[in-house]
Structure 1
Amino acid sequence: MLSFKEFCTTKTLVALGLGQFLSLLITSTGLSSSELARRGINAPTSQSFLNYVFLAIVYGSIMLYRKEALKAKWYYYAILSLVDVEANFLVVKAYQYTSITSVMLLDCWSIPCVMVLTWFFLSTKYRFKKIAGVVVCVAGLVMVVFSDVHAGDRSGGSNPRKGDALVIAGATLYAISNVSEEFLVKNADRVELMSLLGFFGAIISAIQIDNNRSILECNEVKSIHWSVGAALPFFGFAVAMFLFYSLVPILLKVWM
């Protein structure tokens, strides 16, 4: 058992503070997506596009200033970006069908997925307490899905089962993305990761928007009806996502 003094190190306090702020940012993205869905704006790919543009501009400028060679192959970032774009699409799309509560809870499915992937690919070891915590988490997620399937009313969304399936699929892709980011942060460079993730993510998002077609959605651009009330959550989502993407690699660095 750690003493209180051993626990309250600068590293631990910084990690806890970052973790809480990241949780706040995720909550902000959920509220923004839920508000856009309530207003009838159905544009999951468009919402994420601006975030990738911000990443490409900010971190791409730093990379150009450094003039350094890439530390990882460019196609690693292209594959990661594809996974990340579709993960964002699936989770944001889910707000059209289910409640914000279900989305936020089911998004935790990424936790057991991350544990399995890090154990298999990064040789991370987990103790019994952590495994037991994940089992409890998964049990709770099953109860959420069961509740949505057998809900008597549909006040939480037009199709809760479809929404839950989208969140679980998106959370699985998030896990792949997060583990890949951890690997690249450890073996490449944080700025390089953010820059190329933004660059390829913006291209992939733009292609999907330009074709009016994503994995499960067509004609999303035509569904956007702009107003002041809609613009605020739209840009708020992009800013919150930009900050989240920027801070996650820092948190990973802290715990190395």
Structure 2
Amino acid sequence: MMDFKKFWTKNSLISLGLGQFLSLLITATGFASSELAKKGINAPTSQSFLNYVFLVIVYGSILLYRRQPLKAKWYYYILLGLVDVEANFLIVKAYQYTSLTSVMLLDCWSIPCVMLLTWIFLKAKYRYKKITGVIVCIAGLVLVVFSDVHAGDNAGGSNPRKGDILVIAGATLYAFSNVSEEFLVKNADREELMAMLGLFGGIISAIQITVLERNELKSIHWSAGAAFPFFGFSLAMFLFYSLVPVLLKINGSTMLNLSLLTSDMWSVLIRIFAYHEKVDWMYYLAFGTVVAGIVIYSIGYGDEDQHPPNAVEEPLAISHDEEASSANHNKGAVAGTSKTWVA
């Protein structure tokens, strides 16, 4: 009974509910991207641009109202913006070549990437049950690729293998983005993170649109059928970006990516009922394997430390003199690290 109460803590319930809402938002963006791809609209960077505009307007206004200096150095946000823009570009581009289900399932690749990055940079430690669960999930990812080849992409796009590669590359970049956001939201400020990500993400997106997508945007006939999924994608992304730091602060990057795995279920339902498409039998095997991996990973989750100490007590943008004067006081502490033992 004590173990049950320990598992169902307030933070666990909030994380579960918030994670599933984020999963639904991801499914909505996938549905919108797939609809735009079917209409021949190939403007992946433009789809994400409005999201960054919304972020800088809403959270930038909060930052200007506060009139406080940045807690993290500005070039951290430039790197984060670049990685985030390219991750969105690769994932949305993948819808031109592969199926909605494949994109959702292959996004699971971000989980082992996040675990590796948190282990390296945030000093998180994962025991054998967690590692076993991730390995089983990766086995499911391999089955997804085989299922695309086996099905011959009957309803999944023009080049499923190319699409799968784009998704895996995008998921890897998402892992870098998620871990960076976790570090910044725990050591800087949520509103600052969203505002600066919106600012630099918007600038980088605008440059990329000018270079790659200007002609594509001119050729689009903006009917209601095209405008609705385009703006719906941006709104869903804005809500997703706004809520992700909340979950990252409570339970971290790995929990975020695990929660998003349930979007696979919603994507299959969309593919069956909205697109009236048949799902290859190997997808069910792949999905079952991924679910088994999640179950293995989830065993003993209640024993995980939900509140690791912040990586730094001081703002990130401290001077060299301040850093030197506090070295003896914080002996043994490493900036940018937080230790989390995962049972």
8 Å Cα contact 2:26/2:240 also seen in 1: yes
Contact (CA 8 Å) 1:42, 1:224: kept in 2 or not?
A: no
**Corresponding position of 1:189:** 189
Match of 1:251 in 2: 247
State the partner residue of 1:129: 129
Encode CA deviations 1:176-228: one digit per residue, 9 max, x unaligned. 00000011111111111000000000011111112235xxxx84324522110
Answering whether residue 23 of structure 2 is matched by residue 23 of structure 1, we say: yes
Q: Measure, in 1, the Cα distance between the counterparts of 2:26 and 2:127.
A: 27
Equivalent pair of 1:51/1:242 in contact (CA under 8 Å): yes
2: CA distance between counterparts of 1:223 and 1:149? 33
Deviates more, 1:148-157 or 1:103-112: 148-157
**Aligned-pair distance for 1:43?**
0.7
Q: Distance in 1 between matches of 2:160 and 2:59?
A: 38
Alignment gaps of 5+ in structure 2? 252-306, 308-343
One-letter code aligned to 2:115? M
| Partner Cα separation in structure 1 for residue 245 and residue 220 of structure 2 | 32
Shift of 1:150: 4.0
Deviations 1:127-156 (A, max 9, x none): 211111110111111111122234335421
2:225 matched to 1:225?
no
Question: Residue 105 of structure 1 aligns to which amino acid in structure 2?
Answer: L
* Alignment partner, residue 99 of structure 1: 99
Kept in 1, the 8 Å contact 2:41–2:220? The answer is: yes
Equivalent residue for 2:49? 49
- Counting only pairs closer than 5 Å after superposition, residues 24-103 of structure 1 correspond to structure 2 as 24-103=24-103
TM-score, normalised relative to structure 1: 0.95
d(CA) in 1 for partners of 2:235, 2:95: 19
Residue 158 to residue 2, structure 1, CA distance change in 2 (3 Å): farther
**Counterpart secondary structure, 1:75:** helix
Structure (1 or 2) with the larger CA radius of gyration: 2
In 1, Cα distance between equivalents of 2:114 and 2:220: 34
Letter of the 1:209 counterpart: I
Identity among equivalent positions (%) equals 78
Whole-Å separation in 1 of the counterparts to 2:196 and 2:220:
28
**Which residue identity lines up with residue 226 of structure 1 in the other structure?**
W
Question: Partner letter of residue 253 of structure 1?
Answer: K
Report the equivalent of 2:234: 238
Q: Which of structure 1's runs of 4+ aligned residues deviate more than 4 A?
A: none
Tell me what 1:158 maps to: 158
Note the C-alpha offset of 1:77: 0.1
Q: Note the C-alpha offset of 1:6.
A: 2.0
- RMSD across aligned C-alpha pairs, in angstroms? 1.5
- Shift, 1:3, TM fit: 2.2
Residue type of the alignment partner of 1:247: L
Secondary structure of the residue aligned to 1:107 is helix
SS of 1:220's equivalent in the other structure is: helix
Paired residues of 2:96 and 2:163 also in contact (CA < 8 A): yes
In 1, Cα distance between the equivalents of 2:130 and 2:38?
37
Please give the alpha-carbon distance, in whole angstroms, between the structure 1 residues aligned to 2:210 and 2:153: 37
What's 1:206 paired with?
206
Contact 1:43/1:223 (8 A) holds in 2: no
**Secondary structure at the counterpart of residue 72 of structure 2:** coil
Q: Which amino acid aligns with 1:185?
A: V
Q: Decide whether aligned partners of structure 1 residues 2 and 138 sit closer, same or farther in structure 2, where only a CA change above 3 A counts.
A: farther
Cα shift readout 1:9-67 (whole Å, capped 9, x = no counterpart): 21111111110101010000000100111111111000000000000000000000011
Match of 2:280 in 1: none
SS of alignment partner, residue 193 of structure 1:
helix
* Native 8 Å contact 1:43 1:224 kept in 2: no
Q: Which amino acid aligns with 2:73?
A: K
2:97 touches 2:163 (CA, 8 Å); kept in 1?
A: yes
Once residues 156 and 219 of structure 2 are traced to their aligned partners in structure 1, the CA distance between those partners, rounded to angstroms, is: 21
